Structure 1
């Protein structure tokens, strides 16, 4: 918890408010509505599936009722003794058959059942009794009848089980294509005549059943072999040949519902299948989804506007305070305008204005005193520099050297006089008190004088090399800094050697810094001595009586503070390299 609080302390206020919004408003509202939508859509989907299943079951029951009506009529005619007796008689004259037909058969076949059973489209009895005539409801079994497809589907022998078959295409004389067919062999036939009962179902009643308004897809009536006997899909033609339902190419988004006829007489194994488009089944789910989306937007809009309003009240005022704090950092003491509010940010604004006024007064009060203090400090530093010059360059030596040089000229000792002249130039330059820094050109002149003196002293034991670019000669550096390093290299590094001493002096300008390098191949220094020189850079003590490299370090600290670098590389018997890097300044 402490780590979490520390992490949140580094998050901007605006980001915290966004995090608060997403965690406490956006995500809860979205999750809640997603769960609500999921539960609601599942309930709607299940309800719709149940409605479709119930509608399909209702179609199944109504179609079976139509079939039961035909079954009931067939059972009545099947056990009608008088009907069977009239069909078995051998009529000697057609007039006798006509009399029997008018007395009983006409009423039985044409008028008795039609008003009661609306599903029955027609009743026909087929017989091979040659003494009967083709009349209403009575047909002779001839070769044409035997060639009909439904005739071949009648089970052979004395089996009287009714069958439900498709007997026509619904056009022409076969306007009722579904029929119930059974053999009428309930009574023993002396003459052995074959009698077949054919009850046609009214096609209009079947269409009315299958065109249920609650089912917007396609309905298929399948026989026990899975072949389509009837369908509401106009694209499927079942008249030309038998079409298997499994061979249909239904759309991928089709949802199927199926109900079977089990142990229902001649319809056993038949089934009714509804092929519904998914969009039609899930139409109410889409309506529910749109409602949930609308509710989600409404639930998010009002909290979002309120949070934006509150966040703006906090964020804008805090940013205004931060902007004025940055102005104070840049010494622009401006007050925050506007009416001070009574909340915590308003109190912070008021305290900031009072603090700004107090700081401004304090600066005005102490400004003059601070300037005076800085002037005193500048004068003190200038006095220290003058004192350093006095320690390095005694004035009386210049007069003494001039006397010796004049004496050498009088005795015609020109080489000695030239060396003394170089020494005098060095001391004369060091006596200029009003000039703390010199150009690289002037420093090189002093170094040249000193090296000639050392060459006069050591002869072939010492050699030197000076490298500097002409365009760098106008850069400034503290007076006699490099000369002091050359002097240390000559006296402490080269003088103990018997021969082969060499001093290299390099000046280089790189990346806005002047790099001064003095290198010798003398006796070098130990690690302890190098570390002692580095320690001088860390001390804050006054110069006192120290001279040489310590003097150089102290003067560099006075001029540049922490803006200079000093690197020393040395080892006993391998020589010494001292490199100084200072800011590159021109006069």
Structure 2
């Protein structure tokens, strides 16, 4: 019996149950709930951040869409020759200007009601003959001092400017380079209400900042930052320690180069749902803790109390006090143990008081009687007497020059001597072959020229160990059941091959063979481990091979009527 691990078997059952409760219930429940709580926090945080990131992408996309609408309108003006014709014409009279205005400019006013993101469109020109009204303004010296005018002169693409919370797309109409008589600029103002709706998305629970290429705040929904009056660096604004920065969204166009939309959110906003569910989680954890605890306490008490009671009565039994335990008909293992203990106590008491001494005397008499019978049986036949008698006959035959008879008697003596040493479990292949040769010589003496046999043995096989008489029964079957049943000359071929790991025994005869049904019956009886009955030799060998090699051997029989029989046995190679 293996010793107890670090004295664990010396711990009382109650303490073992407490240890089991701590490590199998208390600690797992605490760890499970802590892990569940932390995983829930992480999942909610990740989900919230993902949701807010999607909202931030939506805000960015809507802002870019609004700007793109203005850019698209400016592109329509940029390539429309009618506007160039209108603004570069030198008008002599007001009537002429108004007529051309109705012809060329009446359609552009449709853009404002068509696009909600557009607040208005203004054209700037230095043509003195136009009337500066109806969305047309002059390019004056003051105009040329504007920052956007200077920036526009340095680039060849539209620019986005922010003036008093109103974003505008401004573009110079200079597509046709051969028509540079007049300066023409179009300013498309974005609807500030629409922008406010974009950046104050109700599904975004944090703050959104539109930053220019200098990381200055151009627009934000954070009312605590005074970005309207002066440009403020984003890095300079005050942020809480629990602020989470979402992934920055770069604006793609060259006129918005290095502009980005940045979102921030407080962890308190993200964990708000979790805080609402905290009481539920705590309640659920308490239930998970309380009910298993009560159940285990009840079960452990049931086990400990009843086992301790059995132990007390067993200690009393040591003092020959065979008092039984009160049994209430419990059907579990401890209840059955209690019931069996009571039966055992009553039985022992009965045996000691009534039967024990008488039975001991009776068994002693029976044992002596059996020993006497065995001695008488052994004295009837002495195997050594038979062996000595055969040896005497062999010597007398040699004295009379009957060498063939003497040799056969010698072979029979060898076989008989082997039967006297049946307790020798393992023999070499050489020893087994000597026994086989003795048997075949006897059979050849019987059959004469009708029987021929041949051997094909690897030199390496002679010293291999095999179970005693593992091959001989099959040689006997080949001779008796195979060769005797045919009239023509019989041949038995025995082949033993040996490798480093395996030894293969093959015996083949040209006898009468057997039908497929009979072969199937033999193999089925071997698999089902039936009683000996018929085919004793085959079953004896097969069951002994199972005993020695378990499943690490191969056994196969091939046979058909009129074509002889082939037996193959493959064993693990063993040497002395």
TM-score by length of 1: 0.50
| 1:518-537 mapped onto 2 (5 Å cutoff) | none
Match among 92, 112, 115 for residue 114 of structure 1: 112
| Residue aligned with 1:275, SS | strand
| 1:439-454 mapped onto 2 (5 Å cutoff) | none
Whole-Å separation in 1 of the counterparts to 2:158 and 2:304? 88
Greater shift after overlay, 250-259 or 29-38? 29-38
Q: Does 1:248 align with 2:237?
A: yes
Kindly state the Cα deviation for residue 149 of structure 1 after the two structures are TM-superposed: 4.2
Kindly state the Cα deviation for residue 190 of structure 1 after the two structures are TM-superposed: 5.8
Q: Given that residues 149 and 167 in structure 1 are in contact (C-alpha distance below 8 angstroms), is that contact kept between their aligned partners in structure 2?
A: no
Whole-Å separation in 1 of the counterparts to 2:312 and 2:195? 85
Kindly state the Cα deviation for residue 339 of structure 1 after the two structures are TM-superposed: 8.7
Q: Which has the larger radius of gyration?
A: 1
Question: What do residues 385-422 of structure 1 show as CA deviations (whole Å, max 9, x unaligned)?
Answer: xxxxxxxxxxxxxxxxxxxxxxxxxxxxxxxxxxxxxx
Closer/same/farther in 2, CA of residues 210 and 190 from structure 1, 3 Å limit: closer
Kindly state the Cα deviation for residue 258 of structure 1 after the two structures are TM-superposed: 3.0
Closer/same/farther in 2, CA of residues 194 and 6 from structure 1, 3 Å limit: closer
Match among 163, 174, 199 for residue 210 of structure 1: 199
Whole-Å separation in 1 of the counterparts to 2:118 and 2:69? 8
Q: What is the number of equivalent residue pairs in this alignment?
A: 337
Structure 2 residue ranges without an equivalent (≥5): 317-322, 346-576
Question: Residue in 2 aligned with 1:123?
Answer: 121
Q: Given that residues 200 and 221 in structure 2 are in contact (C-alpha distance below 8 angstroms), is that contact kept between their aligned partners in structure 1?
A: yes
Q: Given that residues 60 and 259 in structure 1 are in contact (C-alpha distance below 8 angstroms), is that contact kept between their aligned partners in structure 2?
A: no
Closer/same/farther in 2, CA of residues 184 and 287 from structure 1, 3 Å limit: same
Q: Given that residues 45 and 285 in structure 1 are in contact (C-alpha distance below 8 angstroms), is that contact kept between their aligned partners in structure 2?
A: no
Whole-Å separation in 2 of the counterparts to 1:222 and 1:20? 61
Q: Given that residues 165 and 179 in structure 1 are in contact (C-alpha distance below 8 angstroms), is that contact kept between their aligned partners in structure 2?
A: yes
Question: Residue in 2 aligned with 1:538?
Answer: none
Question: Residue in 2 aligned with 1:162?
Answer: 158
Match among 295, 300, 305 for residue 306 of structure 1: 295
Greater shift after overlay, 242-251 or 255-264? 255-264
Q: Given that residues 306 and 334 in structure 2 are in contact (C-alpha distance below 8 angstroms), is that contact kept between their aligned partners in structure 1?
A: no
Q: Does 1:53 align with 2:53?
A: yes
Kindly state the Cα deviation for residue 337 of structure 1 after the two structures are TM-superposed: 13
Question: What do residues 220-270 of structure 1 show as CA deviations (whole Å, max 9, x unaligned)?
Answer: 111122111110110111122111111122111111113433542312321
Question: What do residues 510-529 of structure 1 show as CA deviations (whole Å, max 9, x unaligned)?
Answer: xxxxxxxxxxxxxxxxxxxx
Q: Given that residues 88 and 189 in structure 1 are in contact (C-alpha distance below 8 angstroms), is that contact kept between their aligned partners in structure 2?
A: no
| 1:57-456 mapped onto 2 (5 Å cutoff) | 57-105=57-105, 107-110=106-109, 112-156=110-154, 159-169=155-165, 177-188=166-177, 192-261=181-250, 263-284=252-273, 293-313=282-302
Q: Given that residues 150 and 166 in structure 1 are in contact (C-alpha distance below 8 angstroms), is that contact kept between their aligned partners in structure 2?
A: no
- What is the CA RMSD across the aligned residues, in angstroms? 4.0
Closer/same/farther in 2, CA of residues 209 and 13 from structure 1, 3 Å limit: same
Whole-Å separation in 2 of the counterparts to 1:311 and 1:260? 61
Whole-Å separation in 2 of the counterparts to 1:248 and 1:186? 42
Closer/same/farther in 2, CA of residues 147 and 243 from structure 1, 3 Å limit: same
Kindly state the Cα deviation for residue 104 of structure 1 after the two structures are TM-superposed: 3.0
Kindly state the Cα deviation for residue 36 of structure 1 after the two structures are TM-superposed: 4.9
Question: What do residues 173-215 of structure 1 show as CA deviations (whole Å, max 9, x unaligned)?
Answer: xxxx100011111234767322211000111111222222221
| 1:533-544 mapped onto 2 (5 Å cutoff) | none
| 1:496-535 mapped onto 2 (5 Å cutoff) | none
Q: Given that residues 174 and 180 in structure 2 are in contact (C-alpha distance below 8 angstroms), is that contact kept between their aligned partners in structure 1?
A: no
Q: Given that residues 109 and 137 in structure 1 are in contact (C-alpha distance below 8 angstroms), is that contact kept between their aligned partners in structure 2?
A: no
TM-score by length of 2: 0.51
Kindly state the Cα deviation for residue 324 of structure 1 after the two structures are TM-superposed: 13
Whole-Å separation in 1 of the counterparts to 2:296 and 2:249? 60
